[in-house]
Structure 1
């Protein structure tokens, strides 16, 4: 396992994080504990969850696992969670207001069985709450000792820029979680530059595109069986109908297949290795149903792609921005060099 400092902080985290969204729903507690044991045995230290995962059960499972560790092992864990969405039956109990975030954080601490988390993240932008109010809560949470650092998740580029500007000299805002993978590169246009400029370490979620970058799906047949899309082909942002209709999906998978075959590794490992060294990326959030899946993905931890391999993947997965403002003419217009 490799390690990096997270954003503009001095906190050291492993470059692969363990995401726990499946815990308590797709992954039973015994299997979840095995994943946590395997991940930490391989040197991983960033365990990432959220209050809304499995209605709070993910945090409870992580909390019970933490309770089995000795003091030193527990101290090695960098624990991160998120708040923003409703966990109970009341849909209005949501958002980034002081009221909701206070209740959400306190409830997360109880479920996790801890008095403090290392990183607390706003799970998404809230259009109803002034951002200054949300940052004020995070500032108070740091001062009270309930959290060490604050982060963002699923913010757009202008929202990241606004948050980092308002947070300056107030709260240690150090990270941002976007969906980022070979099939979702549009974040490179605004989100990634905003994070780099603001000193936020990028923690990509869905690095394998919901299973698309493992090579398990076909262009000619809708998925079936015990996979996320097999159980629900229209599931979320990785729905089969949308992605299968894009030529870029299959061009990317073809390039992955070629490079994986040449290297004698899996498509997943090549996709993760590509993402591992993208500008601004600190730690990739791995989500797995089983220990076997997790072990395979962690096999990418020491895989480094050549410049030629990266170029092939970049070309195959290029989201083809329009000429302006994100294409070559726009880039050239904003460029400046000193001879």
Structure 2
């Protein structure tokens, strides 16, 4: 397994990490992701550690804490062999203080997460969404205290816009509080919005991307193709509605390109889609999920080899879409490109 530095930090993380959203699944979304109990979760953790996947990501909102609880049980006796990442800020209930990133919520929430995970510290703690109702100074000073108390080691964000990240970094810089080093983002061959603002920001400010849903909410599993109905047993109908829409023709164009490269390489469609992400700027780790051992082992086959330049170019072309203003059309004009060339 390749290890990469997480943003502008000294922490080394595996190129592939494991998303525990499939653990203890319940509710309208997470039950469709997976329902691994402790025994199955322990087996998946075993396979990950054998392959060098030492980073496990979860969140308090995943099945209302059940994911953290199952993960905590699955890693008992080997906490020092791995890194734990969890997230907080999204609503856990209807109460006035059961959502957001207030000092009250973060301190109590971290303590609760530590108990569920069965550990005394969180290696990477990320805010799951921007809280517009809590002053940035309150959020960051609280994170500073959590780091000083030893409960949190590195901090990051997820689902923030560019200006929200930059405002937070500026405030952290001003007061000498911990800077965000991780940005957990949606990024895939059928969802490249990350490249327009957040990728250049990450490169400039030292945030490493931890990529979630790298297979486009299940669209790039190799089971969906032009002129073919969604296979029986597929959960795409249940899961894809929670993510951004993808026009059918665009999806089929990307899958056509993936199929062509699969024939050339002997790799599976998911392996190719994951390998493409591993070649992108700023990507520190791609979070893979699996409901069973077969899926996990297939995803692990995304490392140890590299797409050729020609293959990457074909995937780039098949997945390209028109960027929004101000990125298009100015990025395509020579004068603008000389001032701000695209990263990819």
Global fold match (TM > 0.5): yes
User: Hey, which bits of structure 1, 4+ residues long, moved more than 6 A?
Assistant: none
**Is residue 223–residue 233 contact of structure 1 (8 Å, CA) maintained in 2?**
no
User: Alignment RMSD, CA only?
Assistant: 1.9
**Is residue 42–residue 75 contact of structure 2 (8 Å, CA) maintained in 1?**
no
1:252, distance to aligned residue in structure 2 (A): 0.7
1:66, distance to aligned residue in structure 2 (A): 2.0
Q: Secondary structure at the match of 2:304?
A: coil
| Distance of aligned partners of 1:157 and 1:113 in 2 relative to their CA distance in 1, 3 Å threshold | same
Q: How does 1:103-142 map to 2 (within 5 A)?
A: 103-142=108-147
Which string of whole-angstrom CA distances, capped at 9 and with x for unpartnered residues, describes residues 63-115 of structure 1? 11222x2xxx4212111111112334536511011111111111100101111
Which string of whole-angstrom CA distances, capped at 9 and with x for unpartnered residues, describes residues 234-271 of structure 1? 63116xxx42x342211111101100111011000100
**Is residue 223–residue 231 contact of structure 2 (8 Å, CA) maintained in 1?**
no
| Distance of aligned partners of 1:247 and 1:130 in 2 relative to their CA distance in 1, 3 Å threshold | same
Indicate yes or no: 2:255 matched with 1:253.
Answer: yes
Indicate yes or no: 2:180 matched with 1:173.
Answer: yes
Query: What is the total number of aligned residue pairs between the two structures?
Result: 328
CA distance in 2 between counterparts of 1:46 and 1:153 reads 17
Q: How does 1:3-14 map to 2 (within 5 A)?
A: 3-14=3-14
**Is residue 217–residue 239 contact of structure 2 (8 Å, CA) maintained in 1?**
no
| Distance of aligned partners of 1:101 and 1:329 in 2 relative to their CA distance in 1, 3 Å threshold | same
Stretches of structure 1 lacking an aligned partner (at least 5 in a row): none
Q: How does 1:171-210 map to 2 (within 5 A)?
A: 171-210=178-217
Q: Secondary structure at the match of 1:210?
A: coil
1:331, distance to aligned residue in structure 2 (A): 7.4
CA distance in 2 between counterparts of 1:82 and 1:156 reads 17
Equivalent residue for 2:31? none
CA distance in 1 between counterparts of 2:178 and 2:164 reads 16
Stretches of structure 2 lacking an aligned partner (at least 5 in a row): 26-33
CA distance in 2 between counterparts of 1:288 and 1:94 reads 28
1:13, distance to aligned residue in structure 2 (A): 1.0
CA distance in 2 between counterparts of 1:209 and 1:192 reads 18
Q: Secondary structure at the match of 1:212?
A: coil
Equivalent residue for 2:28? none
Which string of whole-angstrom CA distances, capped at 9 and with x for unpartnered residues, describes residues 30-89 of structure 1? 22221111001111111111111111011001111222x2xxx42121111111123345
Q: How does 1:257-336 map to 2 (within 5 A)?
A: 257-321=259-323, 324-327=326-329, 328-329=331-332, 332-333=335-336, 335-336=338-339
Q: Secondary structure at the match of 2:153?
A: strand
Q: Which of 235, 238, 242 in structure 1 is aligned with 2:241?
A: 235
Q: Normalization by structure 1: what TM-score?
A: 0.91
CA distance in 1 between counterparts of 2:131 and 2:320 reads 31
| Distance of aligned partners of 1:131 and 1:222 in 2 relative to their CA distance in 1, 3 Å threshold | farther
